[in-house]
Structure 1
Amino acid sequence: MIRPKYIFANLVFALSCNYAYAEIVFDGRFDKGDFSGYWALEANGNAVSGASVPNGIQARLESVLDPAGSAKSVMRATYIAGDIETHSGYRSEASTFKDPIGAERWYSWGYYLPDTWKSIKIDSAIAQIHDTPDENESGFRNPTLAVIVQDNKLKLINAFDYDNITSPSDRKAMAGVDFERRELTSWELETGRWTYLDLHVRWAGDDTGFLEVWKDGVLLFQEHDHINTFNDKAGVWFKNGIYNWSPGQESVSAYSTGVLIGDGKETFRSMSMSVVSEPSNYMMMMAGLVGIGFFASRRSPVPKSAGINT
């Protein structure tokens, strides 16, 4: 006889694929939706909510087909030479909601850079995690984390400060004076292909934080018991696209899968850690049924032979 616990365990396994991402707190992937879930879109002097413009900002933030040919939808962010400032920068970016300091998060996304990036002369950020300054504190400072294209490399930059007020609101904060700025890791610029990044972090304005980064499934950086953001109450938020701190002379586009954000310690694996497709409901169901059949064969009694006493 098959024990009920085996049947139950295998049925749970067979049906569990629907709940594999039960800990997701934000799904901004463009093959799953549009801009409507994004808190803010900023480009060419415009700053609007994603809910108000679910199709994005024309020619600046758009949902398009994957340039690598997968037929999936991705985000194309475009900076056009001559664009005007948006919030003191030249940007085409989509921002998520705010996360509180102390939150533990997984961020997972992919980027694709066309060959034109090999000749871009101006430094650009293609992903940022920004903090929210406290009252009476200057907001003119580096993002707490940024992926920057510079000198044919991608660099992961981190900025942080232990003080409650990094600099007063009437003075721009300076790296090395008011806050610390460091390069965590870097990798070579590769164009014409998707690169996938995973970030696991506990945001902390003191030495209780940790930060881990993977590129295409390979761990690039790991640090525990270290501050990794500014000591602000309102928290941080993820944004990706293109950001230049000075006007560029060349128009350029960057593509993104859109970000997936998870909450929890070991409940989230995606993008770079699992570049193969997610298993389908059908395959998971079949695996569960195979498991039930296996236990059934193991537990079935052997029939007695006729006319033989045992």
Structure 2
Amino acid sequence: MTILFDGRFNTTPNFSLYDRIERSPLPSIPPTISSSEAGSYEIVTDPLGSGSPVAKLTMKSAPLGRCEIRPFARDIVAAGPDYGELWYAWWDLFPAEWVDEIPGPADPESNLLSGSKDIIAQAHSADDVTDRPHFPHFAIYVEGKKLKFLRTWDTAAQTTTAAPNLTVHGSWPLEKMRWIEWVLHVNWAASSNGFFHLYKDRRLVYSETNAPNTYNDAEGPFFKCGFYKFFSSLSPAVRMRYSKGVVIGDSTSSYLEVTGHSALETATIRRVS
């Protein structure tokens, strides 16, 4: 079993392991051991009183606001359309002062989505030169008082729409002042060889096998978490939450290895030869 990236802040209490911190309208930066900026990204003590260091990520109102931590430039250095299998784990806490935003008008690309959503984790890939810029192939987001996630994918060599095969899943109450544990076990593929298993708080909440789950792009997927949002005139001026960090394991890893404990439910994987 192999851990490819361990960015938990209780073991490395700074941002130096991450490839970059993506911000907007401020510039994205490659972090160092001393990197910290009050009101943007900083290391603080767990607000629940454990004493462990955690990240405090803050995003301020802008046409496009962003503050995301990104472990790798690319999670898998391999050619598609079948990129490979990974385990991801990450943890979120919403503060008591989090303001529930009333969902705004529909996203211009799809009436399945609100234009005022807060994306808090996403897996993306770089568009090919001839592609239309596309959505992330996976994103967890806040809409009103709910947590949801979206998926998109395209097996075509050239993507011509922004959100092909878009589906929306989940509808969990957004709970404040409680750590949420997310785990994604996935075989990224723009073919029927893909599988996708999402866990929330140790329970399997979504499972799909033998199906595409990403884009047929030259460069493979990358993951990041934090905040990404198009602010409206009705949006809160500031968004802030806490993170314990990100862990990524390879195909030989497990739920136990990336989190330190076992899942309460497991998925049965049927691989396609």
TM-score scaled by length of structure 2: 0.81
Q: How many residue pairs align between the two structures?
A: 239
- SS of 2:223's equivalent in the other structure is strand
In structure 2, distance between residues paired with 1:246 and 1:180: 25
Deviation string, structure 1 residues 218-269 (Cα, Å, up to 9, x no partner): 1101110011111112111111111102354421201111100000245442
**Letter matched to residue 174 of structure 1:** A
**Letter matched to residue 164 of structure 1:** A
Query: In the superposition, relative to structure 1, how do residues 150 and 228 fare at CA in structure 2: closer, same or farther (>3 Å)?
Result: same
**Letter matched to residue 5 of structure 2:** F
**Letter matched to residue 165 of structure 1:** Q
Structure of larger gyration radius? 1
Q: Is the 8 A contact 2:10 2:53 kept in 1?
A: yes
Structure 2 equivalent of residue 170 of structure 1 = none
In structure 1, distance between residues paired with 2:18 and 2:37: 13
Matches within 5 A, 1:156-175: 156-167=149-160, 173-175=161-163
Q: Is the 8 A contact 1:198 1:272 kept in 2?
A: no
Q: How much does 1:274 deviate?
A: 4.3
Q: Where do 5+ consecutive residues of structure 1 fail to align?
A: 1-21, 168-172, 276-310
Residue 133 (structure 1) aligned with residue 133 (structure 2): no
- SS of 1:191's equivalent in the other structure is coil
> When you count helix as a share of all residues, which structure comes out higher?
1
In structure 1, distance between residues paired with 2:212 and 2:221: 14
Moved more, 243-252 or 189-198: 243-252
Query: In the superposition, relative to structure 1, how do residues 63 and 31 fare at CA in structure 2: closer, same or farther (>3 Å)?
Result: same
In structure 2, distance between residues paired with 1:129 and 1:146: 6
Matches within 5 A, 1:64-75: 64-75=44-55
Query: In the superposition, relative to structure 1, how do residues 131 and 57 fare at CA in structure 2: closer, same or farther (>3 Å)?
Result: farther
Deviation string, structure 1 residues 158-201 (Cα, Å, up to 9, x no partner): 1111111113xxxxx333xxx11112333111111101011100
Q: Where do 5+ consecutive residues of structure 2 fail to align?
A: 103-115, 264-273
Query: In the superposition, relative to structure 1, how do residues 133 and 57 fare at CA in structure 2: closer, same or farther (>3 Å)?
Result: farther
In structure 2, distance between residues paired with 1:274 and 1:180: 33
Deviation string, structure 1 residues 7-47 (Cα, Å, up to 9, x no partner): xxxxxxxxxxxxxxx50001111112121111111223211
- SS of 1:47's equivalent in the other structure is coil
- Which of 178, 181, 191 is equivalent to 1:206? 191
Structure 2 equivalent of residue 250 of structure 1 = 237
- Which of 240, 245, 249 is equivalent to 1:262? 249
Structure 2 equivalent of residue 47 of structure 1 = 28
Residue 187 (structure 1) aligned with residue 175 (structure 2): no
**Letter matched to residue 71 of structure 2:** T
Q: How much does 1:151 deviate?
A: 2.5
In structure 1, distance between residues paired with 2:191 and 2:44: 41
Residue 79 (structure 1) aligned with residue 72 (structure 2): no
In structure 2, distance between residues paired with 1:188 and 1:264: 32
Q: Is the 8 A contact 2:84 2:187 kept in 1?
A: yes
In structure 1, distance between residues paired with 2:157 and 2:34: 37
TM-score scaled by length of structure 1: 0.72
Q: Is the 8 A contact 2:183 2:255 kept in 1?
A: no
Q: Is the 8 A contact 1:126 1:148 kept in 2?
A: yes
- Which of 55, 65, 70 is equivalent to 1:95? 70
Structure 2 equivalent of residue 123 of structure 1 = 117
> When you count strand as a share of all residues, which structure comes out higher?
2
Deviation string, structure 1 residues 58-93 (Cα, Å, up to 9, x no partner): 321111111111111111110123x4x6xxx31111
Structure 1 equivalent of residue 41 of structure 2 = 61
Q: Is the 8 A contact 1:93 1:240 kept in 2?
A: yes
In structure 2, distance between residues paired with 1:148 and 1:136: 28
Structure 1 equivalent of residue 259 of structure 2 = 271
**Letter matched to residue 63 of structure 1:** I
Query: In the superposition, relative to structure 1, how do residues 133 and 54 fare at CA in structure 2: closer, same or farther (>3 Å)?
Result: farther
Moved more, 241-250 or 196-205: 241-250
Q: Is the 8 A contact 2:45 2:52 kept in 1?
A: yes
- SS of 1:109's equivalent in the other structure is strand
Residue 146 (structure 1) aligned with residue 139 (structure 2): yes
Structure 2 equivalent of residue 231 of structure 1 = 216
**Letter matched to residue 250 of structure 1:** A
**Letter matched to residue 44 of structure 2:** V
- SS of 2:224's equivalent in the other structure is strand
